[in-house]
Amino acid sequence: MENFELLMGGFATALTPMHITLMIVGVLLGLIVGVLPGLGAPNGVSLLIPLTFTMDPVSAIILLASMYWGALFGGSTTSILFNIPGEPSSVATTFDGYPMARSGQSTRALTLAFMSAGIGAFVGIVVITLLSTWAARFALRFGAAEYFAVYFLAFCAFVGMGSASPIKTAVSLSLGLLLSTVGMDTVTGSLRLTFGIEALLSGVSFLVVVIGLFGIGELLATVQDGLKFRGVASRIDPRDVFKTMLELPKYFTTIVRSSAVGIWMGITPGGPTAASFMSYGLARQWSKPGEKFGTGRPEGIVAPETADHSAGTCAMLPMLALGVPSSATAAVMMGGLMIWGLTPGPMLFTTQPDFVWGLIASMYISNFVGVILVLLTVPFFAALLRIPFAIIGPMIVAICFVGAYTVANSTSDLWLVLIFGVVGFVFNKLEFPLAPLVLAMVLGSKAESSFHQSMIASDGSLGIFFSNYLVGSIMTVALALLIIPQSLKFIKYLRSHKNVDAAA
């Protein structure tokens, strides 16, 4: 009941002409970001952050969150119409979305995607509404040791539960932690890893890193892949839209199952991409005999889209309540909050309730706005994609460099964008995950500070991380997430080789 009253106050904050306009603008910008390969939600949000420095935090976060929802919708548009995932989390949608569109059912495919995405996002927002206050109150019991344990849990979860190789994830995390230490040590005051370069005295801006990794890096990969647009009919027929809406109840079980997967993968560091693939796999495994997946089956669109959007939405919960982002975009948003002087965590709900609940209320509105706008603008974005990439590519490069320069008005940041663009390109080609690197950059200094405080309080004893049931439980879960999945993989590997030897 208390959350409902706070939510109503949030709607009073969000439902102003200014904020509604920002939601519409944010969703439209997000659609462009999601539609254009080479951009993406993390890069789009990071490019927009410098433009929000003069705005109040509530307006700024509403704009950024709306762009995030729009980017998720935009990625689905290109997946279905052009077989080009605008977002990594939209890859699974191409498996059945593009074949359905190619068979002359583009309106049906798009409607299934957008409506199931809207439902998934709505479920995620409801979860945030119900659990945010409880999570914040629980986090008030945390001290330095407990916070370090939570950060350690996030790192271990990425290594143990991520879809990428654990070694590659660990390398990505280590690089992010290393970058977070560049500059002045906040505890000792000593300079670290500056190599006499004056521009590094203030550290490496995570915004510059993100723009390079996700912007220039993805663009280089797109150029190398020789991207070609192959579109299908993109006209939206209103009659087919309503007919497809009436069809959705048939996939109720798929929607519920996919929402549950998305909620879990959003709150934990699994992320939208892993959620969409997992949900698609479950839908295929639980499907009834009949039409094969990969030929335009409706469940193959509904499942990944529902999970993708519920995971993307739920990723905001640990970021707001615990200060631990579980996705790259949430990490970028958290960095924005810190730039605006707001510290994500339990005290944010107490000190800035208008901000938190205004954001949550705006999620309900911008999700609805996103579904409407994406249906109305599909023909426009389909036409936009037919513009030669030789024109769109340089525009993306210009946007990236302008965004990087406005962070600190420093030309050295332009060189860093280029360097991290190459790093992002190499990481993509070698299949190293980028999200752990961004997470480590955002959490690195906070984890280091918590560790230092814990060591000071315990006279250097690591036993403080098992000194009470709360911190001990978190550390135990973290170690379990790190060790158990790898142990199971090793046992499976030994069994498979044993069976091969026995057969021989």
Residue 181 has φ and ψ, to the nearest 5°, of -95, -5
Closest to 355 in 3D by CA, of 333, 383, 377: 333
Strand residue runs (E) in 25-69:
none
Q: Of 141-150, 284-293, 468-477, give the lowest mean pLDDT range.
A: 284-293
Residues 6+ apart with CB under 8 A from 170: 159
At 26-83, the pLDDT tens digits run: 888 888 777 665 566 776 777 777 777 778 888 888 888 888 778 777 777 777 776 6
Query: For residues 429 and 221, is the Cβ–Cβ distance under 8 A?
Result: yes
Rounded mean pLDDT, 138-162: 77
- 99 in a domain, yes or no? yes
**∠ Cα 351 126 362 (to 5°):** 60
Residue 120, pLDDT above cutoff 80 = yes
- 451 in a domain, yes or no? yes
pLDDT at 504: 57
- Give the pLDDT band (50/70/90) at residue 289: low
Q: Of 17-21, 203-207, 315-319, 484-488, give the lowest mean pLDDT range.
A: 203-207
Domain limits for position 73: 1-185+252-385+432-460
- 471 dihedral zone (left: phi>0; alpha: psi -120 to 50; beta): alpha
pLDDT at 33: 76
Tokens in use for 94? Answer: 């191409």
Cα torsion 302, 304, 305, 306: sign:
positive
Residue 148, pLDDT above cutoff 60 = yes
- 502 in a domain, yes or no? no
Domain tally, the chain: 1
- 399 in a domain, yes or no? no
pLDDT at 360: 85
- 109 in a domain, yes or no? yes
Residue 37 has φ and ψ, to the nearest 5°, of -60, 145
pLDDT at 290: 58
C-alpha 281/C-alpha 257 separation (Å) is 12
pTM given for the model: 0.68
pLDDT at 458: 87
- Higher-confidence residue of 244 and 496: namely 244
Place of tokens 């409880």: 134
pLDDT at 382: 60
- 419 in a domain, yes or no? no
Query: For residues 231 and 82, is the Cβ–Cβ distance under 8 A?
Result: yes
Q: How far is CA 401 from CA 211, 214, 327, in A?
A: 8, 13, 24
- 202 in a domain, yes or no? no
Closest to 121 in 3D by CA, of 133, 110, 129: 129
- Give the pLDDT band (50/70/90) at residue 386: low
* Largest separation between any pair of C-alpha atoms in the chain: 73
- 74 in a domain, yes or no? yes
